[in-house]
C-alpha cells in the first residue's frame, strides 16, 4: 500500500487529457486525498504534446514530484517524452492501438490496454480517456463508485445516456486491468482521512478572494496564465450585480480599474508580464492620484512573449520598479492557493487603506497548478476601507469655489477619500503634481511635501500584511537557510524535509511581502544560518539581488536559478543544498 | 437648482487668448445647468494636452489622467456609479492618435458617457506638431515638408463602428455647442461630439474664418434626418466632413449598462461588499 504516488496522462492537446486528470482528481479529492496537479501544455489550441501530472497523497503536499509511478499514454510521443520520469517498477498504461514500446534504458512495465477499442465498444472513441481513468483506478485499488457523482455532475447537461456511457467506459477499463492483467499491489493507496477539502488552481482562489473582498468590477485582457481569473468572475459577478469588461488592451484594463476605484467600487485587473509592461504608466497614475488599484500578475516565461505557457519568476523587478518616477506601491506574493484567497482579500484592504496600487504576484505554477485547499473560512474575511468617507456622512459645506482637501497632509500621509457623487466633496484628481485639493502646483515646497506624504505612507515595512515572511526556521544556527517566493514553497518544504532526515539543520524563509521589503525579518534569518540558498525561477537572481540590496549581507547568499520553463523539483533543491554544504558553492 | 455659474471655479485657464477651448468650457457649464445637474453629480475625465486641463476648470468632480486614456477611466467610473453624469474630454491627439483604439472600443461598448473632442488639428502643448486630424500637406515642426499622411475623419469613423450619437460643432457657435452637449448627456449610451476648436497659435490654416466659410449646418438643412445613418454618411462625404449639428442619433440604442446581465440600477459603489455566509458557502462548494 502506498502513502503517495504520481500519475500522469499524456497525449495530443485536445484528446481529453485535462478532463481525465480532472475527473480522477475530483473523485480522489472527495475521498479525502491530498492532490497537486500540474499541466504541461503548449501555446497552441489543438495538437502538440500535453500532459497533466497529478500527485496523490494521504498527507499534505504542495509540490510536483520528482518521480512518476503511473504514466498513461495516448501516443508513443507521450511515452518517449515522459517515461524517463518513471520509478523503477513504474507502469506505462498505454493504448494498445499504437503498438506502444518502452524506450531503451527505461525499466517500466508496459500495460497495453485497448483504450480506444473499448471506448468504441462502449460507443465513442473519444471516451478512451475514461477507459484510461478506469484502468488507472484498478491500479490504485479504488472502485468505480467514487466516480458516479463526479461523472453525473460533469455530464448531467448532456443527458443520462452520456453519464451512463462514461461510467461504463470507466468500469470497462477497470475490469480489463483486473481480469487481463491482475492486481498490481504496489500502487494501491492507503486509505485517506476522508475529510472534505477543496481542490482549485491559484487563479480560482484569487478570483474567489476578489469576490469575497467585495470586488464587483474586473477589467482585463485575456492572457495566459491569468485568464481563468476573468473567466471565473464573468460567470459569477452577475449574481452579485457586478461585471467583467473584456477590454481592448491592458492599458484600457488598468485605467478602467483606476476609474472604477476612483468611483468607489473595488475593482481589479489581472495579467501576465507583457500586460504588466503595458500597464506601467497607469500604475504610476494610480500612485500619483492615490487611487486604490489591485493588479494580479501571474508571471510566466519572459522576456517579450517568451514562454507563454511555462513557469518563470522573472517579473519581480518589473513589479517593484517599472513605473517612472517614485510612487508608493505594495507587492505581495502568495505561495499557495489558500494564500491566494486570503491575500487577495488583504490586497483590496491594503489598496484602500494606503490608497495606492497593490500588485498580487503569482506565477504560472501557482496560477494553474491545482492543489488541495483546506476549507476556506468565512469568518476570516475582513473588509477594511481605510479613510474612505461613507455615503451617509454629511460633509461640511464648501465655501465659494473651495475644494475638499482630498490630498490633505496628515500624520500618516493618508488623506480622507471622498467619492465623486458625494455632496461637498468636490476636488480635482490629476497625475500632475498637485496641492491638497488636487489642483496643479509646481511649488517646490508643495512638491517636496507631497512626495514625502505619498512615499511616507509605506515608509515602514510593517503595513499590517499578516505574514510578510513565512518562516519554518526552527534552528538558531542552521546549516542552510533556503529562501524563496511564490509557488516554490511546497517544493522547498519537501527538500527541507529530506535534508532534515539526514540530520542537517535547515531553515526556510518564504518572502510574501516584496514591497515594502521586510528587511529586519529576512536579515535576522540570514544571520542565523551558515549558508543561504535563494531559489528562484529566473536567470539573473532578481530576488537574491533584492535581498542583497536591502540586507547588505550579500556575501552569504547563493543564487539558485532555473529558467528552462519548468518548476523546481524537490530533488533539485535538495541536491543544490548538499552541494553548497559540501563544496561551499553550487 | 444650480445655474451655469455654479459650475465655474476660480482657476484661470492656461489657454492662449482666443483659444477655442474657452467656448467648450462655457458650453459645458451651461449644458450641465440646463439639464438640471448639480456640481457634485458631474465628473469630467480628461486626457493630456491643452484640452486635458478642462477637468480642472469646471466646478465639478474632475479627473485629469494620462495621455489618451480618458475614455477607459471614464467608463470605469460610470460603471462604478451609474448615477453620475460622466463626461470625457480631450484633444484630437488624445482621442484619435494615442487613444484611437479606446475611442473605437468605447463606441462599440456604448457605456453611457459623453465624449467631447476639442479638435484643433494640431498638437498645441508640445508646441506645434502634426496631429492625426491635420490635412495632407499641413506644415508643422514635425512635418516641415507638409504632412504626407491622410487625416482621420472621426465622424465617418464613428458611424462605421456603430456609434449611437455622433455630433460635430464649432467653438464659435456657443448656442449649437451647448445644445449638442445637452443632447449628448441626455442620450442613453456613448455620445461622440467633435468640436472644431481652433488653435490660434499653431494652426494658421484652420482658423475661425476658415470654418465659417466651409461648415454646413445640418440643423438648418431642410429634410435632414439624423436617424438616417446612410444620409448621415452621405452628407459627411459630400461636404468632406465639414458639417455641424447632430449628424446621427439612434434613439433606440441600449447602453452597455442596460445590457449587462445582472447589472442593477443601484450604483456598484453604494452596495455592500460583504458576501453572506450562504453566498460564500455556495461559491466554495463548487470546488469540493
**Local structure of residue A459 (DSSP, 8 states):** -
Considering only the beta carbons, identify the residue of B267, B275, B288 that sits closest to A211.
B275
Q: Tell me the C-alpha distance between A54 and A60, whole Å.
A: 14
Note the pLDDT of residue A41: 83
Percent of chain A with pLDDT strictly greater than 70: 100
Angle, helix B174-186 to helix B21-34, in steps of 10 degrees? 50
Task: Note whether A27 contacts B: Cβ–Cβ < 8 A.
Answer: no
With an 8 Å Cβ cutoff, are A255 and B65 in contact? Answer: yes
Contacts of A445 (CB under 8 A, 6+ apart): none
Beta strands A34-40 and A370-373 are antiparallel
Residue A413's region, left for phi above 0, alpha for psi from -120 to 50, else beta, is: left
Instruction: Determine which helix (DSSP H) or strand (DSSP E) holds B28, and give its type and residue range.
Output: helix B21-34
Q: Tell me the C-alpha distance between B213 and B141, whole Å.
A: 27
Beta strands A529-536 and A513-515 are unpaired
Which DSSP string do the residues of A164-203 spell out, in sequence order?
HHHHHHHHHHHHHIIIII---GGGPBPP------EEEEHH
So what's the ipTM on this one? Answer: 0.98
CB interface of B with A, residues 172-201, below 8 Å: none
The answer to whether the beta carbons of residues A46 and A17 sit under 8 Å apart is no
Q: Tell me the C-alpha distance between A272 and A253, whole Å.
A: 13
B83 chain-A contacts, CB cut-off 8 A: 421
The answer to whether the beta carbons of residues A276 and A322 sit under 8 Å apart is yes
Which DSSP string do the residues of A329-351 spell out, in sequence order?
-EEE---SHHHHHHHHHHHHHHH
Which triple of cell numbers denotes residue A80?
A: 518517449
Q: How many residues does chain B have?
A: 288
Q: Tell me the C-alpha distance between B176 and B188, whole Å.
A: 20
Considering only the beta carbons, identify the residue of B55, B72, B268 that sits closest to A256.
B72
B65-102 pLDDT, tens digit each: 999 999 999 999 999 999 999 999 999 999 999 999 99
Which triple of cell numbers denotes residue A90?
A: 513504474
B94-120 pLDDT, tens digit each: 999 999 999 999 999 999 999 999 999
Which candidate, B181, B164, B173, B159, places its Cα nearest to that of B216? B173
**How far off is chain B from A284, nearest CA to CA, in Å?**
10
Contacts of A387 (CB under 8 A, 6+ apart): A353, A355, A414, A415, A416, A417
Q: Give the range among A14-18, A54-58, A239-243, A299-303 with minimum mean pLDDT.
A: A14-18
A417 chain-B contacts, CB cut-off 8 A: none
Q: Tell me the C-alpha distance between B25 and B118, whole Å.
A: 10
A196 chain-B contacts, CB cut-off 8 A: 288
With an 8 Å Cβ cutoff, are B56 and A217 in contact? Answer: no
ω into residue A303 within 30 of 0, thus cis?
Answer: yes
Residue A184, pLDDT > 80, answer: no
With an 8 Å Cβ cutoff, are A422 and B81 in contact? Answer: no
Task: Note whether B56 contacts A: Cβ–Cβ < 8 A.
Answer: yes
Which residue in chain B has the smallest CA separation from A30?
B288
Buried b / exposed e across A362-392, counting CB within 10 Å, b at 16+?
Answer: bbbbbbbbbbbbeebebeebeeebebbbeee
Order across the sheet with A513-515: list the strands. Answer: A243-246, A217-220, A267-271, A293-299, A357-363, A330-332, A513-515
**How far off is chain A from B259, nearest CA to CA, in Å?**
11
Task: Note whether A251 contacts B: Cβ–Cβ < 8 A.
Answer: yes
By the 10 Å C-beta count (0-12 exposed, 13-18 middle, 19+ buried), A191 is classed as exposed
Task: Note whether B270 contacts A: Cβ–Cβ < 8 A.
Answer: yes
Task: Note whether A262 contacts B: Cβ–Cβ < 8 A.
Answer: yes
Which triple of cell numbers denotes residue A337?
A: 492557493
Handedness of CA A121, A123, A124, A127 (dihedral sign): negative
With an 8 Å Cβ cutoff, are B271 and A241 in contact? Answer: yes
The answer to whether the beta carbons of residues A197 and A375 sit under 8 Å apart is yes
The answer to whether the beta carbons of residues A246 and A197 sit under 8 Å apart is no
Note the pLDDT of residue A266: 98
Q: Tell me the C-alpha distance between A338 and A466, whole Å.
A: 14
Residue A401, pLDDT > 70, answer: no
A74-107 pLDDT, tens digit each: 999 999 999 999 999 899 999 999 999 999 999 9
With an 8 Å Cβ cutoff, are B80 and A259 in contact? Answer: yes
Which triple of cell numbers denotes residue A133?
A: 481513468
B63 chain-A contacts, CB cut-off 8 A: 259, 262, 289, 428-430
The answer to whether the beta carbons of residues A17 and A52 sit under 8 Å apart is yes
Task: Note whether A434 contacts B: Cβ–Cβ < 8 A.
Answer: no
A375 chain-B contacts, CB cut-off 8 A: 284
C-alpha atoms less than 13 angstroms from C-alpha of B243 in its C-beta half-sphere: 27
Q: Tell me the C-alpha distance between A26 and B86, whole Å.
A: 47
Reported pTM: 0.97
Angle, helix B70-80 to helix B100-109, in steps of 10 degrees? 30
Helices (H), B63-173: 70-80, 92-93, 100-109, 154-160
Considering only the beta carbons, identify the residue of B41, B72, B264 that sits closest to A255.
B72
**Local structure of residue A377 (DSSP, 8 states):** P
Task: Note whether B145 contacts A: Cβ–Cβ < 8 A.
Answer: no
Q: Tell me the C-alpha distance between A467 and A510, whole Å.
A: 10
Note the pLDDT of residue A42: 79
With an 8 Å Cβ cutoff, are A214 and B272 in contact? Answer: yes
**How far off is chain B from A307, nearest CA to CA, in Å?**
27
A39-65 pLDDT, tens digit each: 888 777 777 899 999 999 999 999 999
B263 chain-A contacts, CB cut-off 8 A: 238, 241-243
Task: Note whether B61 contacts A: Cβ–Cβ < 8 A.
Answer: yes
pLDDT band with cut points at 50, 70 and 90 for residue A399: confident
CA–CA distances in Å: residue A10 to residues A251, A523, A565: 38, 44, 18
**Local structure of residue A413 (DSSP, 8 states):** S
Specify the 3-state DSSP secondary structure of A360.
Answer: strand
A506-550 pLDDT, tens digit each: 999 999 999 999 999 999 999 999 999 999 999 999 999 999 999
B105 chain-A contacts, CB cut-off 8 A: 247-248, 252
With an 8 Å Cβ cutoff, are B76 and A241 in contact? Answer: no
Which triple of cell numbers denotes residue B68?
A: 489618451
Which triple of cell numbers denotes residue A534?
A: 535563494
Q: Tell me the C-alpha distance between A111 and A91, whole Å.
A: 7
Measured at the alpha carbon of residue A384, what is the angle toward residues A382 and A388, in degrees to the nearest 5?
A: 160
Q: Tell me the C-alpha distance between A509 and A470, whole Å.
A: 6
CB interface of A with B, residues 341-380, below 8 Å: 373, 375-376, 378
Tell me how many residue pairs between chain A and chain B have CB atoms under 8 A apart: 214
Which candidate, B85, B87, B82, B77, places its Cα nearest to that of B114? B87
Considering only the beta carbons, identify the residue of A238, A259, A420 that sits closest to B261.
A238
Q: What residues form DSSP beta bridges with A91?
A: A70, A109
With an 8 Å Cβ cutoff, are B77 and A262 in contact? Answer: yes
- Number of C-beta neighbours around residue A414 at 10 A: 21
Note the pLDDT of residue A43: 76
Q: Tell me the C-alpha distance between A281 and A251, whole Å.
A: 9
CB interface of B with A, residues 82-141, below 8 Å: 83-84, 101-102, 104-105, 109
With an 8 Å Cβ cutoff, are B79 and A239 in contact? Answer: no
Handedness of CA A323, A324, A329, A331 (dihedral sign): positive
A402 chain-B contacts, CB cut-off 8 A: none
Note the pLDDT of residue B168: 98
Specify the 3-state DSSP secondary structure of B165.
Answer: strand
ω into residue A225 within 30 of 0, thus cis?
Answer: yes
Which residue in chain B has the smallest CA separation from A200?
B287
Angle, helix A128-140 to helix A160-176, in steps of 10 degrees? 50
Note the pLDDT of residue B92: 97
With an 8 Å Cβ cutoff, are A431 and B66 in contact? Answer: yes
Considering only the beta carbons, identify the residue of A29, A196, A260 that sits closest to B76.
A260
Which candidate, A426, A422, A432, places its Cα nearest to that of A402? A426
Low-confidence ranges of chain B (pLDDT < 50): none
**How far off is chain B from A86, nearest CA to CA, in Å?**
30
With an 8 Å Cβ cutoff, are A420 and B61 in contact? Answer: yes
Which residue in chain B has the smallest CA separation from A269?
B76
Averaged over A556-568, what is the pLDDT?
Answer: 97
With an 8 Å Cβ cutoff, are B76 and A211 in contact? Answer: no
With an 8 Å Cβ cutoff, are A373 and B73 in contact? Answer: no
Specify the 3-state DSSP secondary structure of A241.
Answer: coil
**How far off is chain B from A465, nearest CA to CA, in Å?**
20
Considering only the beta carbons, identify the residue of A243, A255, A428 that sits closest to B260.
A243
To which residue does cell 492507503 refer?
Answer: A190
Note the pLDDT of residue A400: 72
Q: Tell me the C-alpha distance between A484 and A260, whole Å.
A: 34
Measured at the alpha carbon of residue B206, what is the angle toward residues B203 and B211, in degrees to the nearest 5?
A: 150
Order across the sheet with B42-46: list the strands. Answer: A428-430, B61-64, B42-46, B85-91, B114-119, B191-196, B165-170, B243-249, B216-217
**How far off is chain B from A237, nearest CA to CA, in Å?**
8
With an 8 Å Cβ cutoff, are A381 and B274 in contact? Answer: yes
Amino acid at each position: 500500500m502506498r502513502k503517495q504516488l504520481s500519475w500522469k496522462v499524456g497525449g495530443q492537446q485536445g484528446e481529453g487529457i485535462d478532463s481525465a486528470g480532472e475527473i480522477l482528481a475530483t473523485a480522489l479529492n472527495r475521498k479525502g486525498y491530498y492532490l497537486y496537479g500540474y499541466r504541461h501544455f503548449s501555446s497552441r489550441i489543438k495538437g502538440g504534446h500535453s500532459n497533466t501530472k497529478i500527485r496523490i497523497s494521504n498527507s499534505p503536499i504542495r509540490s510536483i514530484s520528482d518521480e512518476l509511478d503511473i504514466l498513461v499514454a495516448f501516443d508513443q510521443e507521450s511515452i518517449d517524452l515522459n517515461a524517463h520520469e518513471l520509478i523503477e517498477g513504474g507502469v506505462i498504461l498505454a493504448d494498445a492501438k499504437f503498438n506502444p514500446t518502452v524506450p531503451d534504458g527505461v525499466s517500466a512495465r508496459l500495460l497495453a490496454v485497448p483504450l480506444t477499442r473499448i471506448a468504441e465498444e462502449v460507443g465513442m472513441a473519444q471516451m478512451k480517456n475514461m477507459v484510461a481513468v478506469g484502468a488507472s483506478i484498478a491500479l490504485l485499488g479504488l472502485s468505480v463508485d467514487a466516480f458516479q457523482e463526479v461523472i453525473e455532475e460533469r455530464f448531467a447537461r448532456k443527458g443520462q445516456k452520456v453519464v451512463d456511457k462514461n461510467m461504463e467506459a470507466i468500469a470497462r477499463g477497470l475490469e480489463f486491468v483486473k481480469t487481463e492483467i491482475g492486481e498490481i499491489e504496489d500502487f494501491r493507496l492507503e486509505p485517506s482521512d476522508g475529510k472534505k477539502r477543496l481542490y482549485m488552481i491559484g487563479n480560482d482562489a484569487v478570483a474567489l478572494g476578489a469576490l469575497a473582498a467585495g470586488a464587483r468590477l474586473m477589467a482585463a485582457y485575456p492572457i495566459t496564465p491569468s485568464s481563468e481569473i476573468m473567466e471565473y468572475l464573468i460567470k459569477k459577478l452577475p449574481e452579485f450585480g457586478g461585471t467583467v469588461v473584456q477590454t481592448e488592451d491592458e492599458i484600457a484594463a488598468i485605467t478602467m480599474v483606476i476609474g472604477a476605484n476612483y468611483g468607489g467600487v473595488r475593482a481589479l485587473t489581472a495579467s501576465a508580464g507583457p500586460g504588466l509592461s503595458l500597464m506601467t504608466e497607469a500604475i504610476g497614475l494610480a500612485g500619483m492620484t492615490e487611487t486604490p488599484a489591485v493588479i494580479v500578475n501571474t508571471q510566466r516565461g519572459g522576456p517579450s512573449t517568451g514562454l507563454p505557457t511555462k513557469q518563470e519568476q522573472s517579473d519581480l523587478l518589473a513589479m517593484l520598479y517599472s513605473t517612472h518616477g517614485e510612487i508608493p506601491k505594495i507587492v505581495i506574493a502568495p505561495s499557495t492557493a489558500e494564500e491566494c484567497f486570503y491575500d487577495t482579500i488583504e490586497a483590496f484592504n491594503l489598496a484602500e487603506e494606503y490608497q495606492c496600487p497593490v500588485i498580487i504576484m503569482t506565477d504560472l505554477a501557482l496560477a494553474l497548478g491545482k492543489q488541495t485547499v483546506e476549507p476556506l473560512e468565512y469568518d476570516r474575511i475582513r473588509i477594511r476601507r481605510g479613510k474612505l468617507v461613507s455615503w451617509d456622512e454629511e460633509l461640511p459645506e464648501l465655501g465659494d469655489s473651495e475644494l475638499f482637501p482630498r490630498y490633505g497632509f496628515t500624520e500618516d500621509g493618508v488623506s480622507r477619500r471622498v467619492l465623486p457623487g458625494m455632496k461637498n466633496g468636490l476636488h480635482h484628481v490629476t497625475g500632475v503634481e498637485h496641492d491638497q485639493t488636487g489642483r496643479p502646483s509646481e511649488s517646490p515646497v508643495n512638491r517636496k511635501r507631497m512626495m514625502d506624504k505619498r512615499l511616507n505612507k509605506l515608509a515602514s515595512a510593517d503595513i499590517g500584511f499578516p505574514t510578510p515572511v513565512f518562516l519554518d526556521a526552527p534552528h538558531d544556527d542552521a546549516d542552510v537557510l533556503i529562501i524563496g517566493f511564490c509557488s516554490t514553497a511546497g517544493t522547498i518544504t519537501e527538500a527541507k524535509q529530506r535534508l532534515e532526515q539526514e540530520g542537517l539543520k535547515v531553515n526556510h524563509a518564504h518572502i510574501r511581502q516584496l514591497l515594502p521589503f521586510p528587511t529586519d525579518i529576512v536579515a535576522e534569518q540570514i544571520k542565523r544560518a551558515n549558508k543561504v540558498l535563494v531559489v528562484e525561477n529566473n536567470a539573473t537572481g532578481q530576488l537574491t539581488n533584492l535581498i542583497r540590496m536591502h540586507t547588505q549581507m550579500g556575501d552569504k547568499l547563493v543564487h539558485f536559478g532555473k529558467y528552462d520553463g519548468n518548476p523546481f523539483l524537490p530533488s533539485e533543491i535538495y541536491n543544490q543544498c548538499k552541494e553548497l554544504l559540501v563544496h561551499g558553492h553550487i | 437648482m444650480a445655474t451655469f455659474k455654479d459650475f465655474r471655479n476660480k482657476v484661470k485657464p492656461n489657454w492662449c487668448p482666443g483659444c477655442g477651448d474657452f467656448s467648450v468650457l462655457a458650453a459645458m457649464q451651461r449644458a450641465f445647468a440646463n439639464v438640471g445637474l448639480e456640481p457634485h453629480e458631474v465628473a469630467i475625465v480628461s486626457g493630456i494636452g491643452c484640452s486635458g486641463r478642462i477637468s480642472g476648470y469646471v466646478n465639478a468632480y474632475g479627473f485629469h489622467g494620462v495621455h489618451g486614456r480618458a475614455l477607459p477611466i471614464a467608463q470605469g467610473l460610470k460603471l462604478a456609479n451609474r448615477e453620475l453624469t460622466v463626461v470625457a474630454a480631450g484633444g484630437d491627439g488624445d482621442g484619435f492618435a494615442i487613444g484611437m483604439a479606446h475611442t473605437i472600443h468605447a463606441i462599440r461598448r456604448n457605456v453611457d458617457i459623453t465624449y467631447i473632442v476639442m479638435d484643433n488639428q494640431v498638437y498645441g502643448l508640445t508646441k506645434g506638431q502634426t496631429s492625426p486630424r491635420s490635412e495632407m500637406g499641413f506644415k508643422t515642426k514635425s512635418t516641415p515638408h507638409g504632412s504626407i499622411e491622410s487625416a482621420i475623419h472621426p465622424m465617418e469613423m464613428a458611424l462605421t463602428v456603430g456609434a449611437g450619437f455622433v455630433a460635430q460643432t464649432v467653438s464659435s457657435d456657443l448656442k449649437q455647442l451647448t445644445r449638442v452637449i445637452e443632447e449628448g448627456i441626455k442620450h442613453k449610451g456613448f455620445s461622440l461630439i467633435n468640436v472644431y476648436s481652433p488653435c490660434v497659435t499653431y494652426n494658421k490654416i484652420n482658423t475661425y474664418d476658415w470654418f465659417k466659410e466651409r461648415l454646413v449646418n445640418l440643423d438648418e438643412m431642410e429634410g435632414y434626418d439624423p436617424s438616417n445613418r446612410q444620409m448621415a454618411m452621405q452628407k459627411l462625404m459630400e461636404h468632406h466632413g465639414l458639417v455641424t449639428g447632430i449628424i446621427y442619433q439612434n434613439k433606440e440604442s441600449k447602453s452597455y449598462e442596460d445590457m449587462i446581465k445582472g447589472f442593477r440600477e443601484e450604483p456598484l459603489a453604494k452596495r455592500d461588499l460583504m458576501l453572506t455566509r450562504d453566498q460564500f458557502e455556495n461559491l466554495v462548494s463548487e470546488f469540493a
